[in-house]
Amino acid sequence: MDFRHQILPSSGLSSLNVDALLVVVAGDTLDAGFDARLSAPIEEAMAQGDFQLKAGRTLYLHRPQGIRVPRVAVTAAASATPKAFKTALAKGFALLKDTGARTVGVVLVGGEVDASHAEALVAASLDATYVYRHTKPSAPANAAITTVVLVTDKLHAKVAQLGLLRGQAIGNGVTLAREWANRPANHCTPSLLADEARALAKRHDLKVEVFDRKAIEKLGMGSFLAVSQGSEEPPRFIVLRYQGAAKSKAPIVLVGKGVTFDTGGISIKPAAEMDEMKFDMGGAASVLGTLRAVAELKPKVNVVGIIPACENMPDGRSLKPGDVVTSLSGQTIEVLNTDAEGRLLLCDALTYAERFKPAAVVDIATLTGACVIALGNHRSGLFTADEALASELIDAGQAGLDPCWRMPLDEEYDEGLKSNFADMANVGPRAGGAITAAMFLRRFTGNYRWAHLDIAGTAWKSGASKGGTGRPVSLLTHYVLSQAG
């Protein structure tokens, strides 16, 4: 999709040459300077009770008199904030979805457009037009809307253009993450995920290493390998590197859980909705998406992406409840539940991350159903003992409209991981399950700044419109950009 801006006073919108105009109105009145030929039919609709300036209300006008644009969609926003603007845009694009519009002009009335509004426009546009096609040949070949034009005044044109460029890079990363999370497990094996990492590295001048089972064994990742041993699909350990700063500058390391299908292993999951377990590599997908966005934006920072990828399957060779495995760190783990497998991958990847002498490490994982119960589907769970890192990630989530919420890491929660037969158990009591999962990971992060994002509630949505969301690519990209100085 092509994104651009056009400088035009709001009094001249009726002459805009596009297939459709999307007007987002913030506030409870139309600005006096708004184009009279557009405000007249809107005010008439309000007088007749067909439209109100209340958040969520919409109005469609077809070929309004004296206006060049054949289609006008009007949507009311709760306020002029980027978040409210994005919410209103989603409503407006839904109105235009099944029309013949290919080029859409967008204007905010009652507020000033900045870079964040422009970025929100890109995100809303791509979300509204995304169609999964990889295994669905009946899906439309192309999105109906091909071009979006943000209308701004001269004063705000430069920041709008910067926001569109940043938004498009992040949007490309979000789309990549969505695409791979949506692919069925037979079209997204660990090997195929590694192939995508290689292709991404080739397209965007990244460095990539892919370790096969033999190389993983040589490294000593006994915990990671234990999860993969019940699957016919071989595991892959993927390392991507973006270098935008001097080699001496410590990198940010992103670690993404890459379970390309999770049956639960011997502790098998219920059959209902098990198809959604193809999304259990959402953390890995977000690392790929973030690396793509960062490579396009080229900030002066170094980033390493680590993806331990495998399947968790029941088999005669599978990991069994009660088995004890030895992690790369040398610590032993009693596996009480084979469906708590993500942390067994991540702990070895977190130990491996130490060799990069990182400035900070953030792991991203669809880790626990407990986090979904705690936070629902709006905010990702954030766990860190580092106050500065917590603030940076929270701010990045707010800036990218991809919010997270900080959860506790009190030492008392660690008691639940005690084992009579190993250094630790892989699960604690049911209560506070997302916290004890984070406490488990924390045991492998003693020598660097670390944060954990549990995205079990935000990486995908269920129901009739189920699919990957591409989160938290926006949060992670904004965090990386904030570290570039």
Q: β-strands 71-77, 58-62: how paired? A: antiparallel
Q: How far is it, in rounded angstroms, from Cα 118 to Cα 148?
A: 11
Round to whole Å and give the CA distance between 137 and 114. 39
- Residue 230, classed as helix, strand or coil, is coil
**How many Cα atoms are found within 13 Å in the side-chain-facing hemisphere of 181?**
37
Q: What does the alpha-carbon distance between residue 369 and residue 367 come to, in Å, rounded to a whole number?
A: 7
- Say which DSSP state 50 is in: S
Strand segments, DSSP code E, in 228-314 are 236-243, 252-256, 258-262, 302-312
71, 101 Cβ separation under 8 angstroms: yes
Q: Which of 37, 57, 269, 461 is catalytic?
A: 269
Q: Which two tokens stand for residue 168?
A: 């498009």
CB 257 within 8 A of CB 472: no
Residue 37 annotated to the active site: no
User: What phi-psi label fits residue 210: left (phi over 0), alpha (psi between -120 and 50 degrees) or beta?
Assistant: beta
Sign for the CA dihedral angle at 258, 260, 263, 269 comes to: positive
Residues 327 and 347: their CA atoms lie apart, in Å, by 7
- Residue in 478, 433, 474 with CA at minimum distance from that of residue 454: 433
> Per DSSP, what are the bridge partners of residue 71?
20, 62
Among residues 343, 379, 443, 449, which one is catalytic? 343
CA dist 249 and 218 (Å) reads 28
State the chain's maximal CA–CA distance in angstroms. Answer: 80
Is 269 among the catalytic positions? Answer: yes
Residues identified as active-site: 269, 343
